[in-house]
Amino acid sequence: MIGSYRKTGKIGTSSPKNKGDAIKQAAAIAYSTAGKSRKMRGGGGVQGPFMTVKKKDGNRPVKIY
């Protein structure tokens, strides 16, 4: 995406003011197409447990991701 910004000065239909803004916008587009937010990049792609179930042999809850 940065390559297209260098050639045309645009990323998609928007035209960022400088290269730094273009990099931020390209990263946001990449994360949104991957289905992840930028804030979660250090913690992985799972937001939380899908569901909590109890084990057969006890009463301790187990989180399923």
Q: Residue 39 carries which side chain, given as an amino acid letter? A: K
Residues of the domain holding 20: 2-64
The reported pLDDT for the residue numbered 13 is: 84
Domain count, the chain: 1
The residue among 34, 38, 36, 44 whose CA lies nearest residue 23 is: 38
Predicted structure pTM score? 0.49
Per-residue pLDDT of 5-55, as tens digits, reads: 888 988 888 888 999 999 888 888 888 877 766 565 555 555 666 677 777
- Length of the chain as a residue count: 65
